[in-house]
Copies of this chain bind each other. A is one copy, B any other.
Amino acid sequence: MAARGPTPRTLRLTLQYDGTGLVGWQRQKQGVSVQGLLEAALGRLAGRPVAVAGAGRTDAGVHALGQVAHLDTAVHLPPATLERRLNDALPADINVLSAELTDRRFHARRSAVARSYLYQIARRRTAFGKPFVWWIREPLDIARMREAAEVFAGLHDFRSFTDADPEEKSTRVLIERVQIVERGDLILVRLEGSHFLWKMARRLVGALAAAGRGEIGPADIARWLEVSSGEPARLTAPAAGLFLERVYYPGDERLGEPVPVVNL
């Protein structure tokens, strides 16, 4: 019988990263990406090229608390050892929270049933939170923000809230819930939905902030969901405040109350 190589297996990684100095999740021609760093580190450990697929593409400056990725690998290491070696090989702004063997049919993006994004708005200047918050000087009316948020819930066509993306077939998205809570001088906005289109999370938050400032109302949002508009693009919230918080797979329990990353 011919010698067989090690059985290929699927490894699921959960990771957090500070997106400040990164061009985002996806490998780019220029700049440092999470995918690029992970593939380079795993390639060195495996001694051959390794391809990693992520659950969601995060843009430059966007962070992750629980990005999920998978790889088919023949690396001969127990997952806990791989996790440690991987962290030792990665820069400090990327942190592998867990590495687990999983069902070979598992696909980080295609198996996901929902995503949660967290956005941090700061009501005051802060020396520590700069890369992780959007500081809004004007007073924000939380009740108006919540009123506006309700309009987003449900299955809508979000084409006003995204830019053309050749990888997306449809702009219809199910938004399950938009939560807005206050924690000290922070306003946390949590968006839960089936998936998020390119720039969509930042444009939803931008529209909510405009509602909080009293510049727009629920009727404007309702109209933008009916008829294509360039308005939401002009309201896009900065990348710094945004975190891919959690990717949900079948059977996963939902997170409890949102917790701020920094305390103000």
Chain A residues close to B by CB (< 8 Å): 15-18, 63, 87, 92-95, 125-128, 130, 132, 259-263
Q: How far is the CB of A87 from chain B (nearest CB, A)?
A: 6
CB neighbours (8 Å) of A126 from chain B are 16, 95
CB distance A16 to B127 under 8 Å?
Answer: yes
CB distance B125 to A87 under 8 Å?
Answer: yes
- Counted per complex, copies of this chain come to 2
Q: How far is the CB of A130 from chain B (nearest CB, A)?
A: 4
CB neighbours (8 Å) of A16 from chain B are 126-128
CB neighbours (8 Å) of A63 from chain B are 127-128
Question: Could you tell me the distance between the alpha carbons of A18 and B130 in the complex, rounded to whole angstroms?
Answer: 10
CB neighbours (8 Å) of A127 from chain B are 15-18, 63, 92-95
Of listed A125, A126, A127, residue having the most chain B CB within 10 A? A127
Question: Could you tell me the distance between the alpha carbons of A263 and B15 in the complex, rounded to whole angstroms?
Answer: 16
CB distance A125 to B95 under 8 Å?
Answer: yes
CB neighbours (8 Å) of A94 from chain B are 127
List 14 other contacts, CB 8 Å, given A16-B127, A95-B126, A128-B261.
A18-B127, A18-B128, A18-B130, A63-B127, A87-B125, A92-B127, A92-B130, A93-B127, A94-B127, A95-B127, A259-B263, A260-B263, A261-B263, A263-B263
Of listed A128, A262, A263, residue having the most chain B CB within 10 A? A128
The closest CB in chain B to the CB of A243 belongs to B128
**17 intermolecular pairs with C-beta atoms under 8 Å apart:** A16-B127, A16-B128, A17-B127, A18-B127, A18-B128, A63-B128, A87-B125, A93-B127, A94-B127, A95-B126, A128-B132, A128-B261, A128-B262, A260-B263, A261-B262, A261-B263, A262-B263
Question: Could you tell me the distance between the alpha carbons of A94 and B126 in the complex, rounded to whole angstroms?
Answer: 8
Question: Could you tell me the distance between the alpha carbons of A132 and B131 in the complex, rounded to whole angstroms?
Answer: 14
A-B pairs, 9 with minimum CB distance: A95-B127, A16-B127, A92-B130, A17-B127, A18-B127, A95-B125, A18-B128, A93-B127, A259-B263
